[in-house]
Amino acid sequence: MSSNPAGVVGFSPASSGRQLGRGPASEAAARAKSARRRQLGFRAIALGYLALLLLAPVAMIFYRTFEHGLSPVWNAVSAPNAQHAFWLSIEIVAIAVPLNTIFGIGMALLLERGRFWGKSALGLLIDLPFAISPVVVGLSLVLVYGKTGWLGDWLAEQGIQVIFSVPGMVIATAVVSLPFVVRETMPVLRELGTDAEQAAETLGASAWQAFWRVTLPGIRWGVVYGVVLTTARALGEFGAVSIVSGRIEGQTQTLPLYVQDRFENFDITGAYTAAVVLALLALATLLAMNLLTRRAHRGTAI
Amino acid sequence: MAIEVRGVSKRFGDFVALEDVSITVADGALTALLGPSGSGKSTLLRIIAGLETPDSGEVVIDEQDVTASPARNRGVGFVFQHYAPFKHMTVHDNVAFGLSVRKRPKEEIRGRVEELLALVRLDGLAGRYPSQLSGGQLQRMALARALAVQPRVLLLDEPFGALDAQVRAELREWLRKLHEEIHVTTIFVTHDQEEAMEVAEQIVVMNKGRIEQAGAPRELYESPANEFVMSFIGPVNRLGDAFVRPHDIQILAEDDGTGTEALVERVVHLGFEVRVELKLPDGREIWAQVTREEAQQLELSQGQILSVRLPAPRVFAS
């Protein structure tokens, strides 16, 4: 809208009665001017809102982190527990995100193309992780996979520890970030339609070939967007992981848990530094997506 | 290759799309499935292609029952109404698709694609993406893509439906010539009777999931089997239960006592053809088609009262 002042003019029915005697040109100019003023107003409100809620707090963290120069930051970053937390976060994301991507594409295909009983119920179920508090997700996982949980005895017999170890943290992360790929892929899939796939079929492609060569490239930007959101969510997950991990320093502490731990132990620099690293990771993810989409538009391959 | 459809029925829920439909298409023929929307013509085409399964009946291509075989094994080329381009691929890769899923050598693919692009007059556009092509170009790309795998049968769903009038006329002409050149058995779906008459060698007229009549264009025009075919193919005047073609109505220069009186309500000049709207003494309205010359000789003008001779009207038993 910002480049189209004419679009805003519609908001104000011109009071032509009072403007009698003015030429149509000056009337139009006056209208354009008031539209521009209104637009600037809207923009100021939007920016102010963002600044108060988002920009100022993030900027403050950056400022506080580097307040005393680089060496305390360096020390905080190279602390063994910080290093461990960083790599553990990366590890969990590297497992949970691909899992959710494969599951998400399959589920989107099922919900969009399939015809079966209970489809709408399944669609609702997919959104459940959005609705339920992550803490509840964590607790319910403990009830199933914990020592006294439903599967606890069986898992213990197999020698598998889920709760208070990495598998449980991966599961918790996967659950809370489950809906993104499904929800981002479904509308693109609908827009793609089935014509191109059927064309591939009549040209001799197997279902597998049609999927890899036609369907997946057709929905790839929806999938990429879903993956980016999943990654951001998985990186930042606190509540569910906090419960299933047991928060053991240097063992089951992810970056967000580490931030909380440092903060509670009055290691403000440590907390801020880890927070900045988290923010930078998220920023890198967003940037990567931005670059990818921009390349896609340039390639006219959308 | 000859195509035979035997007793095919198809329902979508409560809607009967096809009811006991049988058609035969000779090897190398160019056939139109003609009918209003909802007549089942596209469903029939999709069933022949294997994109839809019939509830009952058989599809036979080249004396081989293909009813149970999937679309990819039928050897059909299908051109979709909205072309269904692979938007993320170049024109070259679109056309090459069928060959590349068959794992043909690269050299062979390149040669074949070049040949096809020349055939559909898209040479030089191989590196473009579908979003950079016009409707007519997309249509021809879709056709080249379908022809690349040397199909036994070519099926086109409303091939000219989404194009503007001029491109449409050009493509019609071009499709007919192409068919003469490559002679692959072709069926196309259309709701436009003029298009069917102009392009097809055989027309199958469909209505409400049934076949009303099949035959050569001239045959359908001159001896329609029923009311529906009579009114769907060519212009028609309806007088109660009877039908009269506008060009069969004679306007007499002098009233010799054999004609009926009629009032000229309007004269519309459409170039060579002139459309004369008439009102009969009993209040019924009909129109007659005369040539420009005839109209001049008769000095037709609005409000004039003249004498017309109606041919023996055609009446169909209902």
The CATH number of the domain holding residue B30 is 3.40.50.300
CA distance, residue A215 to nearest chain B CA (Å): 9
The residues near B108 (Cβ < 8 Å, ≥ 6 apart) are: B99
Q: Are B133 and B260 in the same domain?
A: no
Q: What is the pTM of this model?
A: 0.79
Q: Would you say residue B315 lies in a domain?
A: no
Q: Are B219 and B247 in the same domain?
A: no
* pLDDT tens by residue, B44-92: 999 999 999 999 999 999 999 999 999 999 999 999 999 999 999 999 9
Q: Residues A190-229, buried b or exposed e (16+ Cβ, 10 A)?
A: eebeebbbbbbbbbbbeeebbbebbbebbbbbbbbbbbbb
- Per-residue confidence band for A296, with pLDDT thresholds at 50, 70 and 90: low
Q: Are B272 and B204 in the same domain?
A: no
Q: Would you say residue B49 lies in a domain?
A: yes
Q: Would you say residue B243 lies in a domain?
A: yes
Q: Would you say residue B317 lies in a domain?
A: no
Of B231, B266, B297, at which residue does a domain stop?
B231
DSSP assignment of A139-189: HHHHHHHSTTSTTHHHHHHHT---TTSHHHHHHHHHHHTTHHHHHHHHHHH
Of B212, B231, B250, at which residue does a domain stop?
B231
Q: Are B163 and B282 in the same domain?
A: no
Q: Are B227 and B80 in the same domain?
A: yes
Residues of B with CB under 8 A from a CB of A: 49-51, 70-72, 74, 76-78, 80, 82, 84-89, 97-98, 101-102, 129, 131-132, 142, 145-146, 148-149
Q: Are B176 and B278 in the same domain?
A: no
What is the model's pLDDT at position A22? Answer: 54
For residue A30, pLDDT beyond 90: no
As a whole number, mean pLDDT of residues B194-212 equals 93
- The β-bridge partners of B274 are B269, B290
Q: Are B47 and B142 in the same domain?
A: yes
When the pLDDT of each residue in chain B is averaged and rounded to a whole number, the result is 91
A198·B148 Cβ contact <8 A: no
* ipTM of the prediction: 0.85
Show the DSSP H helices in chain B as ranges.
Answer: 41-49, 91-101, 106-119, 135-147, 165-182, 193-199, 217-222, 227-232, 292-298
Q: Are B274 and B178 in the same domain?
A: no
Neighboring chain B residues of A200 at a CB cutoff of 8 Å: 86, 97, 101
Fold classification of A71-298 (topology level)? MetI-like fold (1.10.3720)
Q: Are B264 and B227 in the same domain?
A: no
Give the integer Cα–Cα distance in Å for A166 and A143: 17
Q: Are B53 and B187 in the same domain?
A: yes
Q: How many domains does chain B have?
A: 2
Give the integer Cα–Cα distance in Å for A172 and B183: 62
Residues of A with CB under 8 A from a CB of B: 195-196, 198-206, 209, 213-214, 217-218, 220, 300-302
- The β-bridge partners of B290 are B274
Neighboring chain B residues of A209 at a CB cutoff of 8 Å: 101
For residue A265, pLDDT beyond 90: yes
Q: Are B43 and B192 in the same domain?
A: yes
Q: Are B121 and B251 in the same domain?
A: no
Q: Which domain holds residue B107?
A: 3-231
CA distance, residue A192 to nearest chain B CA (Å): 10
Q: Would you say residue B318 lies in a domain?
A: no
Show the DSSP H helices in B58-130 as ranges.
Answer: 91-101, 106-119
* A146 neighbors A163 (Cβ within 8 angstroms): yes
Give the start-to-end residue ranges of the domains of chain A.
Answer: 8-66, 71-298
Of B231, B255, B290, at which residue does a domain stop?
B231
